[in-house]
Amino acid sequence: MALDQNPPLNSLGFAKAPADTRVVVAMSGGVDSSVVAAMLAEEGYDVVGVTLQLYDHGAALAKKGACCAGIDIHDARRVAEDMGFPHYVLDYENVFKDAVIDEFADSYLGGATPVPCIRCNERVKFKDLLETAKDLEADCMATGHYIQRVMGPQGAELHTAADAAKDQSYFLFSTTPEQLDFLRFPLGHLPSKEATRALAAKYGLVVANKPDSQDICFVPDGDYASVIRKLRPEAAAPGNIVDTEGNVLAAHDGVINYTIGQRRGLGIGGLADPLYVVRLDADRREVVVGGKELLATRNVPVQEINWLGDAPFSSREEWHVAVRVRSTRPPTEAILRPLSDTTATVELVAAEQGISPGQACVFYDPDSSRIFGGGWIHRG
């Protein structure tokens, strides 16, 4: 009897038994990554859990009390112990501060609206941690992100999650083709977060009912300005609120307290029409305000583009795509015009309000769930 020369692919896409397939699971201590680790362990894979210690609230934010990062590490370790696989904690505090926190603070000081979760995936999790996984002789690395990896005619493709409400494609657009070859996202096909929690209960995980994190991890209370003041004390320098002609309307106590599109809290009364923040000029320490119509934008300059399409980005004069210019809005129809391999102009078919430098612009196939990559919005 002839031996099968082509054994079937396992659930991670390898032609070998799960027991012979090593997978490093990036474990944050939350329910999503814990379910991924437990699921793969139950399926018989050679699972290695890794948790990154990225920050210490006490040191980074001069805050007394318990360290949330420590609680998360403890939860990840408990899951690994209960499911019977090894777990390691790696100290990435310096890397995270240099690659993510410092840029976050400097971007805000520059009048931009940064998205640090994207930089963390790009510069820490899918770069340094991925290399660590390879050093551990893993076949792949799995995460708890809600996004799908689909094998297409030309290799692995990135697709939105089955559950649109949990889709994290906006935060993962900078995943490169090389990284996508090595990554796996076992939760992307699930219909809802409730399905994930049901699996956590099935595996008896201690984190089954742990609340989802709502804020940026190193800004646990959502107060960006106070964090930046601690990191960059000069950020609270006072200045003026001015109109588009440069006329002084009021004073402010730091541009970090304002965001593009903000209407409330400007301290300007007695006007017939409301004013909105339309621009932040950190060099001049000015908050520029104007009518709502000034927030509307159709042409968006984009740089640092990561392209995930099959044909080279610059091979066409224009691409008809859908784009998302903030995480909370659905994709909208646009024309993408390459200027180089990594820069482009995005023309929105319908104007969007409150687009800010520092945010991401993510490209989607308008006819499918595929993600074509994206880039960073900058000042044109």
361 is catalytic: no
Which of these is catalytic: 117, 120, 140, 361?
Answer: 120
The residues pairing with 42 across neighbouring beta strands, listed in sequence order, are none
CB 239 within 8 A of CB 288: no
Catalytic choice (68, 117, 140, 217): 217
Q: d(Cα 36, Cα 371) in Å, to the nearest integer?
A: 23
355, 306, 357, 305: which is closest to 332 by C-alpha? 355
Beta-bridge mates of residue 363: 323, 373
> How far apart (Å, rounded) are the C-alpha atoms in residues 208 and 125?
24
217 is catalytic: yes
Residues 6+ apart with CB under 8 A from 132: 24, 50, 90
Cβ atoms of 301 and 359 within 8 Å: the answer is no
DSSP class of residue 98?
A: I
Rounded to whole angstroms, the Cα distance separating 140 from 43 reads: 15
Active site amino acids = 120, 217
